[in-house]
């Protein structure tokens, strides 16, 4: 088991990438703290883990609120005695997100509060816990759009994921000598509820698909496997990296530096 005796906290754990990661991490031996704003969906994930013989608990949290993030770390340590992994995965893609001209201020602010501030707060309060555990792994969900513009306008989301990538690099450098690794996971377009709600017409879906060399949307479990790699000791010499799991989309459109 790749995460035996490890404690992992995963935000946005009630659905999509987060749910798939919670189930996989538990299967690999981790005790999993499932964090989500939706109590019902996260409780179902915990039940699935326990039914399979794993160990998990649910914590309700709004990652844009400092008090919630502080409490989720405190509760994880109280329940399991340590924290070894935090996967800052919670994020939104607002259906009102569009171009710089048409996106409203509320959509912009809400996206930044959850997608950027939420990652910062998760790290802010998790780092002391990881230090107490003798080190650990931080995985932040960015996106392929942190490397190239999206074909369908989503200016707030794209900007937020670029910020996560820059934040991850600096944090990795700062904490490299403390045995705290910080990496970004950059998924391509996925067949998740989050993206399918945004790509709500066949035209929008096809506009994405045409750019993906593999010709299909990714699955949440494929991203969970990449998150497992970054969380585990298999990636022990990786920090400050961006792991692209995108069906080849950036290889087709980004010029090597």
Catalytic residue among 80, 125, 157, 253: 157
Supply the DSSP string of the chain, one letter for each residue.
-TTTT-EEEEETTTSHHHHHHHHHHHHTT-EEEEEES-HHHHHHHHHHHHHTT-EEEEEE--TTSHHHHHHHHHHHHHHHS---EEEE------TT---TTT--HHHHHHHHIIIIIHHHHHHHHHHHHHHHTT-EEEEEE--GGGTS--SS--HHHHHHHHHHHHHHHHHHHHHGGGTEEEEEEEE-SB-SHHHHHHS-SHHHHHHHHTT-TT-S-B-HHHHHHHHHHHHSGGGTT--S-EEEESTTHHHHHPPP-
pLDDT band of residue 254 (cuts 50, 70, 90) is: low
Q: Give pLDDT tens digits for 32-66.
A: 999 999 999 999 999 999 999 999 999 999 999 99
pLDDT at residue number 256? 58
The answer to whether residues 90 and 36 touch, using CB atoms and an 8 Å cutoff, is yes
pLDDT at residue number 201? 80
**Taking residues 240-245, what's their average pLDDT?**
97
What pTM did the predictor assign? 0.94
Q: Is the pLDDT of residue 197 over 90?
A: no
pLDDT at residue number 257? 57
Catalytic, 157? Answer: yes
| Secondary-structure class of domain 7-253 per CATH | alpha beta
Domain ranges of the chain: 7-253
pLDDT band of residue 255 (cuts 50, 70, 90) is: low
d(CA 110, CA 108): 6
**Taking residues 243-255, what's their average pLDDT?**
87
Q: Is the pLDDT of residue 111 over 70?
A: yes
Query: What's the chain's average pLDDT?
Result: 94
Q: Which residue has the higher pLDDT, 95 or 19?
A: 19
Q: Give pLDDT tens digits for 122-162.
A: 999 999 999 999 999 999 999 999 998 887 889 999 999 99
pLDDT at residue number 207? 75
pLDDT at residue number 179? 98
């Amino acid at each position: 088991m790749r995460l035996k005796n490890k404690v992992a906290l995963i935000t946005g754990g009630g659905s999509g990438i987060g749910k798939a990661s919670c189930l996989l991490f538990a299967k690999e031996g981790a005790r999993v703290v499932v964090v989500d704003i939706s109590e019902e969906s996260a409780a179902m994930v915990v039940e699935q883990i326990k039914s399979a013989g794993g160990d998990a608990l649910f914590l309700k949290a709004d990652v844009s609120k400092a008090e919630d993030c502080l409490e989720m770390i405190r509760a994880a340590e109280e329940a399991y005695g340590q924290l070894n992994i935090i996967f800052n995965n919670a994020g939104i893609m607002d259906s009102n997100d569009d171009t710089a001209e048409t996106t409203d201020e509320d959509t912009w602010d809400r996206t930044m509060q959850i997608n950027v501030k939420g990652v910062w707060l998760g790290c802010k309060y998790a780092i002391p816990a990881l230090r107490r555990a003798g080190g650990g792994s931080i995985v932040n969900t960015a996106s392929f759009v942190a490397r190239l513009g999206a074909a369908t306008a989503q200016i707030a989301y794209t900007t937020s994921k670029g910020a996560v990538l820059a934040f991850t690099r600096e944090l990795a450098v700062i904490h490299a000598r403390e045995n705290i690794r910080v990496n970004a996971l950059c998924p391509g377009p996925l067949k998740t509820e989050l993206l399918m709600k945004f790509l709500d017409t066949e035209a929008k879906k096809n506009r994405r698909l045409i750019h993906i060399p593999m010709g299909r949307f990714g699955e949440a479990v494929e991203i969970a496997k990449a998150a497992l790699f970054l969380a585990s000791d298999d990636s022990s010499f990786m920090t400050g990296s961006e792991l692209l799991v995108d069906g080849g989309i950036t290889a087709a459109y980004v010029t090597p530096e």
